[in-house]
Amino acid sequence: MTIRKSASSAKTSSAKKPASKGAGKAAPGPAQPQLLPPEDVAEIFARFHKADPEPQGELEYVNAYTLLVAVVLSAQATDVGVNRATRGLFAVADTPQKMLALGEDAVRDHIKTIGLFRAKARNVIALSQLLIDRHGGEVPVDREALEALPGVGRKTANVVLNIFFGHATIAVDTHLFRISNRIPLAPGRTPLEVEQGLLRVIPEQYLLHAHHWLILHGRYVCKARKPECWRCLIADICRYEPKSTPG
């Protein structure tokens, strides 16, 4: 039910409420984080490089095809869980042809401990078929072609291009998205914004391994609930506050 004020009541109310100074202006939003200067960004990656010159991904694979499958399976799953499931799978099916011969039911049985395993099994079979039909059974060295495969998005394509083919790509997962906004290196509202921002600010000599340094840092040090600032290599540069302490 709508309640209407009488004319006299409205006049009285308006008389008691003079327009406040600045009325009609939107309330200021939260302050945007100030970007780090280029020399600080370079120092961050110089420290990562010194601590771990050749960072490695944690997914297990034997060729480009098994890497592609492993990354597809890793969506909403841990690398440890994926590795546990794929050891047996890749022992019997390390090519698209062998995977198709194995069949969807058997693939599903191998990966049933992984989240969304039914949909992922379908995608593995479907992408294997398309690799044979369109690319002669080989994994294409092209982001657009990779993203055309079932279950493969930009992040998955970037991981394969980076790890196996040595392209300087940035695959933005939840860890990398979080710390890029937290430090901040390249604040963004979407993974694509963060990816493009990082490609702009990271010095060229560090781009090849930047993806791994940032993901590992976010996974093991700059954690979501409580970043372990007391053992962080870049705590003096990072602008996240308040810094956490042990205990």
Q: Could you list the residues known to form a binding site for [4Fe-4S] cluster, using ranges.
A: 222, 229, 232, 238
How far is Cα 152 from Cα 146, in angstroms, rounded to an integer?
7
| CA 51 to chain centroid | 22
Q: Is 173 a catalytic residue?
A: yes
Burial of 187 (0-12, 13-18, 19+ CB in 10 A): middle
Residue tagged active-site, from 112, 155, 223, 226: 155
Instruction: Cite the annotated binding site by residue number.
Output: 222, 229, 232, 238
Query: 3-class SS at 103?
Result: coil
Q: Is 237 exposed, middle or buried (0-12, 13-18, 19+ CB in 10 A)?
A: middle
The residue from 173, 226, 236, 243 that is catalytic is: 173
Residues 6+ apart with CB under 8 A from 23: none
Q: What is the CA radius of gyration of the chain?
A: 25
- Based on the residue annotation, tell me whether 98 is a catalytic residue of this protein: no
Q: Extract the tokens encoding 189.
A: 């509202």
Active-site residues: which are they? 155, 173
